[in-house]
């Protein structure tokens, strides 16, 4: 009887909003089937653990058990990112509250240097490669710098987990390691990243157009939503070329994308409010259990 709280960084429960280009009933059915197949693949392990804990065998998938139990499923993203989802899940509203992304916005050692570089010229296009190293750092740097040169834009490359230190850096490119996305993105003309839930939240809150070059996991879902909301574009990273990168950036750098991105940012939950609401929900769940 210990309270169970799950945190979802994108809509994991079956719904009709993940693939906007497809009919909602079909998307919802596909999610339900996928959920069931996962349960079939893991139920023996699940029940072995339950046996060791002295619990009865489970006969339905865990997501169903969680819903029937009325456990708290915190949606750590904004409902505005998935139009129609809050209405679709209305009957679970009390158990699936939307709190917004739980981003920390921590300062980094590079902040002063980066802000000084940004202030010395026009707002750059910011590329954030994420914590997982890219497979071909040189090719990636060449493609990014070439795109910036062709568009006559400065480029800020937040390298994250990729080492670009042994490579010549063009004059219009600034390479840093870990950076404060909240401050850097807000000072940029556009942002290009892998499409993780946290990074996407930073770019949407910053109110700048975003290009997602995705690989796996929840990344393509976030790319779908940016396309749907018309605040950005998306493409599989492995299919990205110098030509496609320039074309995608040229598309999202048009004024209409900037206007829509700024408007959407006003509808996003503020970081402090997201964290406060999540903490209140945790404490509330614990208090009900102790009571």
Express each pLDDT in 213-235 by its tens digit: 999 999 999 999 999 999 999 99
Please report the pLDDT score of residue 237 as a whole number.
93
pLDDT mean over 103-108:
91
What does the pLDDT look like over 64-89, one tens digit per residue? Answer: 999 998 999 999 999 999 999 999 99
- Would you state the pLDDT for residue 291? 55
Residues 6+ apart with CB under 8 A from 239: none
Cross-strand bridge partners of residue 127: 157, 192
Residue 186: C-alpha distances to residues 51, 113, 270 (Å): 51, 16, 14
pLDDT at position 17 is 94
Our CA dihedral for 264, 267, 272, 274, rounded to 10 degrees, sits at -100
Mean pLDDT of 187-199: 97
pLDDT given for residue 192 in this prediction: 98
Q: Which residue matches tokens 């070439």?
A: 146
- Distances in Å between the Cα of 64 and the Cα atoms of 44, 70, 125, 205 are 17, 10, 44, 33
Using alpha carbons only, how large is the chain's radius of gyration in Å? 21
Q: Are 212 and 193 in contact (CB under 8 A)?
A: yes
> 153 and 189 in contact (C-beta within 8 Å)?
yes
* pTM, to two decimals: 0.93
Residue 290 has pLDDT above 70, yes or no: no
CA distance linking residue 129 with residue 139, whole number of Å: 13
Tell me the mean pLDDT in the region 18-28. Answer: 93
């Amino acid at each position: 009887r210990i309270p169970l709280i799950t945190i979802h960084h994108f809509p994991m429960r079956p719904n009709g909003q993940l693939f906007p280009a497809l009919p909602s009933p079909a998307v919802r059915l596909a999610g339900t089937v996928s959920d069931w197949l996962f349960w079939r693949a893991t139920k023996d392990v699940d029940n072995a653990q339950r046996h060791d804990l002295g619990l009865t065998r489970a006969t339905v998938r865990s997501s169903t058990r969680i819903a029937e139990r009325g456990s708290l499923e915190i949606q750590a993203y904004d409902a505005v990112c998935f139009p129609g989802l809050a209405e679709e899940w209305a009957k679970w509203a009390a158990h699936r509250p939307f709190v917004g992304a739980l981003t920390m916005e921590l300062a980094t050692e590079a902040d002063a240097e980066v802000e000084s570089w940004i202030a010395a010229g026009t707002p750059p296009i910011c590329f954030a490669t994420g914590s997982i190293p890219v497979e071909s750092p040189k090719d990636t740097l060449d493609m990014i710098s070439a795109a910036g040169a062709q568009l006559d834009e400065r480029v800020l490359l937040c390298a994250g987990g990729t080492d670009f230190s042994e490579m010549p850096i063009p004059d219009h490119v600034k390479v840093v390691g870990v950076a404060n996305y909240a401050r850097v993105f807000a000072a940029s003309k556009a942002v290009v990243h892998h499409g993780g839930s946290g990074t996407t939240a930073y770019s949407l809150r910053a109110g700048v157009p975003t290009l997602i070059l995705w690989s796996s996991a929840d990344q393509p879902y976030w790319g779908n939503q940016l396309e749907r909301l018309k605040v950005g574009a998306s493409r599989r990273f492995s299919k990205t070329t110098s030509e496609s990168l320039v074309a995608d950036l040229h598309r999202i750098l048009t004024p209409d994308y900037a206007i829509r991105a700024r408007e959407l940012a006003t509808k996003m939950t503020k970081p402090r409010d997201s964290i406060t609401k999540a903490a209140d929900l945790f404490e509330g769940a614990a208090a009900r259990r102790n009571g």
